[in-house]
Structure formats: structure tokens, C-alpha cells
Structure 1
Amino acid sequence: MLKWTSAVVASVLLCGASPAFAGPWGNVDCSQAPAPVCDLGVGNNERPHEAWDTGRPSSTDQSSSDAEDPYVGCSYKPVDYQAPDGQPQEPGGWFMVLCSPDGKDPLSHGPVWVPSGGVRPTLSPEQVAEMARNRLLLPSVTISASPADEQLVSLPTWLWLSGGWEEVSASASVRGVSVTAVAKPMSVTWSMGDGGSVTCAGPGTPFAPGHRDPRSASPDCGYTYRTSSAGQGTDAYKVTVTVTWAVTWAGAGQGGTFPNLTTSASSAFRVAESQGIATG
């Protein structure tokens, strides 16, 4: 059982001994040596959707059960469909375009009319942009904080990301239509576990041991606890970090935006009571 005292608590590392520790007021990288009091959650670095690659093309004839598109990895499935304004007079058939086995991928659409022996309809720039978005690989979030030991009530805590704040892009091309999607980190919200939170416009400034007063506040991303974490699960606050990404696309003389994406990670901060700060 953790015992809290009214004096500054002796050094008990959140993340164990690691190269990131540099004395009582140094840095701690909570992804380098996870421990019961430094439980780092991995950010979401998976693609929002995975394209279904069905391989090489086959016939576009309506009798084909799975006519594959060589350009986008989507398949054409024949369907019975009666157009509201009447059936086309030319030979051909109606197809659903399926870009995942279950047809739930955002690129799936239809029905579309495909003339017999004709060229399958190409995708619009917006649909190609969706492909590019699906290829975005967002980086995992890495949490860092100072003090390196337990946080202290009434002492400013410096917060920053040492990973997970870099712009990423991905491209897709279909029949001469090339589009690039870009994901740019816009803000990071820290939920501090005590009911409080702080939103920062950037990744935060790392604390520089020996160059800053440990009682000073971060210039751009920090928090001050007012109550200790004694009595919480593992006697620590669960801290959750969420990065919000703005996603845009451009290509084929057009451009647009997608709904924001997010990545997240979590850690545990112990917060102790103190009546004074020993600096010497």
C-alpha cells in the first residue's frame, strides 16, 4: 500500500530506470519501460479501412459472377435492377461495385450500367480520394511528462508528445486520376484522470533539466493537480491523450476534406501531497 507523506516524496520512478530519466526533475518517456504505474496504451495506427485486392481482371460480361477491376481492386457483381427511367437499349447489364467482401467499404457503390464489351466506369476523384484516405497510416502516440517521478499537488506538470505528432500522407491513382490525402495533427486533449482536462494546439514543449525552474509552468501544454491520487486504482490517475487529425485531399484539379481522425494513448500518473519543494 502506498503511503503518502507531507514532504516531497523520494524518487520512485513511474516508468522504472530508463535513459529518459535525468534526476528528480528530469524527463520520463512512458513508452520506454512500461510498469504498473506507467501503463501506456498504443495509439491507433491502423488504416480506417482496408482495400480489398481481388487480383487480375476477368470478363465484364453479365454472366461473370465476379468480374474484377484491375485498377482499384474492386469487383463487379451482376444484379437484377430496373432503372426508374427505363432500361438502356444497348446490350449490357447492371452491376454493383464491391470494394470489400461484404460491400460495406465506402468505395462500394451501384448499381451501375456496364455495356457489353464496354469500358467499366471509372471512379470519381472523390472516390479515389477515399482510397488514399484508407491508406493513411497514423503514428502511435507517445506520452511524456515532467516531473519524472510522482506528480505533486500544486506543482505544474509539463506535458508533451515525444511521438505521434507528424503530418502523414498517402496517394492513390486510377486511370490517370491521382489523388493525395494528407492527415495533419491539429490538437491534443489530455484527460488528466481527476476530472480535469487540457487541450493543447501543439505537441507541447519538453522539459529541459538544468535549464528551467522545476516550479515553472509549461509555456504551451501543462496541468496542475489540486488533489492527490491516493485511493484511486493503483493509487494513480489514468491519463488519456487524444490527438485530433484534420484530413484533406487534392488531385485531378479538385480537393476536399474528410471527417477528422483521432489517435490515442493512456498512462497512469501518481500525484502526491507536498508542503514544500526541495530544489537544492
Structure 2
Amino acid sequence: MKAKPDPAVVARQVVRELVLPDPVIRTSPDERHAQLVRVPTWMWLDRAMWRPVSKTAKVPGVSVTATAIPRAASWRMGDGATEVCEGSGTPYSSKFAADASSPDCGHTYMRSSAGQPDDAYTVSVTVTWDVEWHGGGQQGVIPGLQTQAQMPLRVAEAQALVVA
């Protein structure tokens, strides 16, 4: 009689086969426009990617399902600051004041990106996923899968001109 495969071994194989979506970065002001020094920048990830992803493997004697769940987004803002957001972030909409800070995922630049390569900061985000698996009468968690994205973000400094 052949022994049943170890569900934990099958789970690790399923995790290797999971296809996690790449993060899609969104900002307000829109990333095509310059952010402004001392004006809050809102950041969020496309909500279509912020969802559980599952895969099931069936091998003779055992079936194992692994589900990857996005847990946090760690942002490197390019100016030396990092921000950690527990969710995908809140998209900006006109229901918020123009100078409002994001309720859950934002950053305020204190200096312009002038002098940086292409006069832009490189903003990057790393999404951390935990994988919960179950099958063959067992279950477990495999933490720490990551997906990443980056983009340039220009930050300008507005100058006020007082005319008497």
C-alpha cells in the first residue's frame, strides 16, 4: 500500500503555483501630474488585485487548497520615508476636501523631487500575502509571499507670488 502524500508538502507545491496579481499603484493627485510639497498625496492599489487568490491541487490520496490573502502594503516614497498600510488604501474622490489627508494610506512630501533622476522620486510598493492552506485533515499558514511595483512620481514646489 502506497503512503498518502504529506499535505504540507503538497501545500508548498500549490503555493509555488499560485499566480498573484501585480500591484497597480494609484495616487491623487494623479501620477501623471506633479504632486505638491506639503500637500497630502493619497496612495492606493487597484482594488481588483486586493483580493484572495486560491488554487487547489489534487494528487492521489489528498486534495489541498491554498488561499493567498493580501495583508499589508509597504510603500517606499523615494524621499527616504516609508508608509505601511493595512489595506489597499482609499481612492480619492471629490467627497473629500482637496487638502484632506488619506484616512488610511498617504504621504506628504516635504521637498521637491528636483535633482532626482528624471526629476522624480521612485515610489515602490510591496504587498505582503499570507497563505492559508487546508487539506488531508491538516491546515497551516505560509507567511510572507510578496508582490511589488514601482513608478516615478514628480513632486513640485509651488511658489506664491505676492503683487502689491
Structure 2 Cα separation of the partners of residues 128 and 211 of structure 1? 48
Conserved? CA contact 1:135–1:171, under 8 Å: no
Distance in 2 separating the partners of 1:182 and 1:168 = 5
Indicate the residue corresponding to 1:198 in structure 2.
83
Q: Which residue of 2 aligns with 1:145?
A: 27
> Map of 1:132-211 to 2, 5 A cutoff?
132-148=14-30, 149-162=33-46, 163-208=48-93, 210-211=94-95
Structure 1 gaps, min length 5:
1-118
Instruction: Name which one, 1 or 2, has greater alpha-carbon Rg.
Output: 1
Equivalent residue letter for 2:12: E
What CA distance in whole angstroms lies between the structure 2 residues aligned with 1:146 and 1:137?
29
Residue number in structure 2 paired with 1:52: none
The structural deviation recorded for 1:164 is 2.7
1:274 and 1:188 mapped to 2: Cα distance? 30
| Contact 1:122–1:175 (8 Å) recurs in 2 | yes
Match of 1:271 in 2: 155
Cross-structure match for 1:244: 128
* Structure 1 counterpart of 2:151, one-letter code: S
Is 1:130 equivalent to 2:12 in the alignment?
A: yes
* Residue-by-residue CA offset, 1:190-233 (whole Å, 9 max, x unaligned): 1000000100000000011x322110000110000000000000
Contact 2:111 2:157 in 1 (8 A): yes
CA distance in 2, matches of 1:171, 1:134: 12
Q: Structure 1 residues 121, 253: closer, same or farther in 2, change over 3 A?
A: closer
Shift of 1:121: 4.0
Q: Which residue of 2 aligns with 1:224?
A: 108
Q: Is the 8 A contact 1:122 1:174 kept in 2?
A: no
Give ranges in structure 2 of 5+ residues lacking alignment. none
Shift of 1:120: 4.7
2:142 alignment partner, one of 258, 267, 271: 258
| Cα shift readout 1:49-102 (whole Å, capped 9, x = no counterpart) | xxxxxxxxxxxxxxxxxxxxxxxxxxxxxxxxxxxxxxxxxxxxxxxxxxxxxx
Secondary structure, in 3 states, of the residue corresponding to 2:67? strand
Aligned pair count?
157
Letter in 2 for 1:176: G
CA contact 1:173–1:179 (8 Å) conserved in 2: yes
- TM-score between the two structures when normalised by the length of structure 1: 0.54
Work out whether residues 4 and 61 of structure 2, in 8 Å CA contact, stay in contact via their aligned partners in 1: no
Query: Residue 78 of structure 2: SS of its match in structure 1?
Result: coil
Higher strand proportion (structure 1 or 2):
2
